[in-house]
Structure 1
Amino acid sequence: MIQLISKHWTYANSTGAFSTYPIDPKDETAEKLTGVITRWFIGRRCIIKKGKSEVQVAKEKLLHKKGRWRSNVCCLVARQTTSIKSLVGSNAPLVQIFEESGCHSDTEESSSGKMLQLKLPWQTDVFIKLCELADSRTAEQIHQEAGHHFPDSKLFEKKRRNTDKIEKGAMVPMDLPLDCYNTKFLDTLSEQG
């Protein structure tokens, strides 16, 4: 058993797995080694029972993370629609712009886990300002409902950081008012058609 742990320990150390958590060899005792072995086997037991490989576990984690992100986006759109309705009235044609969530997602998660707000080439400055107004109105409404104990770091609208990256392959919603579409974007459509 000690040979097995030593083999794993040596491999992990050689690949740099302990670089952020340095281990002092003087601190190594039989009790601690037994604890490490026990935790390692207990942690692996459920994966081994299910017969899953490391790749399958990683895929499941990624799917779970994407599912949570999609859920957050849907909640955001629902809250934006509610706050816009309270701002301009529920029967205004402007409300329809925010109903179609799949087409206007200007949020991307970076490799570091930060949420970035991309620039979409089809949007006008007026439409961008309207979306920013919807975000700030949604944040205000959540703060009013939840009180002061709700931190900005939990709000999707406040977590996003502006970036200069332009999403060229973004889906474009149809049937929006003309002042939502950038004139340069509309000109490229007539060139293609």
Structure 2
Amino acid sequence: MLRIIYNTFMISILFYIVIGVIYPSSIYLIGNVLFEKKANGSIVYLNSKPIGSKLIGQNFTSDKYFWGRPSAAGEKGYDALSSGASNYAFYNEKLLKRINDQVIFIKQKNLLPDSQEIPSNLIMASASGLDPHITVDSAKLQIKRIALARNISEEKVNDLIKKNTEKPYLTFMGQELVNVLQLNVSLDTL
């Protein structure tokens, strides 16, 4: 009986060391050596100051910047501790009103005609509420507003979109996207 208790205790200690110490430490070290930026949060710097993560959406509201997807994460949106969607059904009156208000707002602010279709990622929040990307079409809808606010040519803004466009995963999975934070940093460094 004591032998069984001793063996059980020793196996528990062994598993604690392997699973609780060696494995996490090796994964941490491998991650930091091979994927340093990703393992440390993909932080974006401007003038040597951290301004955000490339992995988490930011709340840009100025006309001088590209706007990302709306966020339902937390009261003010983009709260990583409250990540999640509103979970409203597609026929919910609050959701329909918010979407309609967002469409009107986007069209007014970007000087778009009433007949212009707005990509869904500019009017509906993602499941996490923290999506850092928008489609290239969504970025292009904002060119005129940003060019006017910054007093630069629309061609310059369009070139920045092209330079910051990320290709689909493995060239065929998904669509071309633009990271809003990186695009706005590019605007500030013009």
Q: Same fold by TM-score, threshold 0.5 exceeded?
A: no
Q: Structure 1 length as normaliser, TM-score? A: 0.28
Q: Considering only CA atoms, is the larger Rg found in Structure 1 or Structure 2?
A: 1
Structure with the largest fraction of helix: 1
